[in-house]
A and B are shown apart, each in its own frame.
Chain A
Amino acid sequence: AQKVTQAQTEISVVEKEDVTLDCVYETRDTTYYLFWYKQPPSGELVFLIRRNSFDEQNEISGRYSWNFQKSTSSFNFTITASQVVDSAVYFCALSSPEISNFGNEKLTFGTGTRLTIIP
């Protein structure tokens, strides 16, 4: 069975501070994908990133960076110089390719971390 744990329920930081959101996952599959989604106050779910299990290179996109470590089964997300617009609920998710010809991969979501950036 797959599981995603986001132990931080809520985080508040002052604007311009750096903040890291933790994500720990469990899976028995050797091939899997990890995702981060953002859910702003308006409610939609916005895709941020996907990483493959065989690619442990860290990724940076502007103020966002992701640290993937298979040794600790973690896929942490850091926001540098946070801004008020970063306030949202962030979800980490895991999927494994099904044994099928479809390629559909069910997402297992964590419970989310509510991030509040204080102006």
Chain B
Amino acid sequence: DAGVIQSPRHEVTEMGQEVTLRCKPISGHNSLFWYRQTMMRGLELLIYFNNNVPIDDSGMPEDRFSAKMPNASFSTLKIQPSEPRDSAVYFCASSLGVAGLAGVEENIQYFGAGTRLSVL
């Protein structure tokens, strides 16, 4: 089975440019998460969706960041305009979210390979 697929794997851009990161979750999963990893702050949750609806975006750093999930198999994280401090590895994760007691494969977040973003 295909895991979470992220593209691109690496992105180098100049300050001020728009950057779009893409994610395809595992088929059948109903929850999708965007994380950012930096040396200073570790892994931070930016936003998560359930059934394509944004549930909590309190981790989104500022208005320059936006995320969408137009359907169950695709999500984007956009930064406009990008700044050097946005340089980080961005991970997408998906899970099969169920309320109550989780079964063996439920409520486990599986991560993509990440997108390494460098803003010059």
Contacts and interface: CB of A to CB of B under 8 A. Distances in A.
Nearest to A101: B99
A71 B50 CA distance: 34
Contact of A107 (B45, B56, B101): B45
Contacts of B68: none
Contacts of B111: 37, 44-47
A111 B42 CA distance: 6
B74 interface: no
Contact of A50 (B42, B101, B108): B108
B14 interface: no
A98 to B, nearest CB: 9
8 smallest beta-carbon distances between A and B, as pairs: A45-B111, A103-B97, A103-B98, A103-B99, A109-B43, A44-B113, A102-B50, A104-B97
A106 interface: yes
Q: For this complex, into which size category does the number of interface residues on chain A fall?
A: 20 to 34
Interface of B: 31, 42-43, 45, 48, 50, 55-56, 89, 91, 93, 95, 97-102, 106-114, 116
B109 A107 contact: yes
Interface string A17-47: 0000000000000000101010000111111
Of B95, B101, B109, B111, most A-chain CB atoms within 10 Å? B109
A104 B114 contact: no
Contacts of A61: none
Contacts of A102: 31, 50, 55, 97, 99
A103 B50 CA distance: 9
Contacts of A109: 42-43
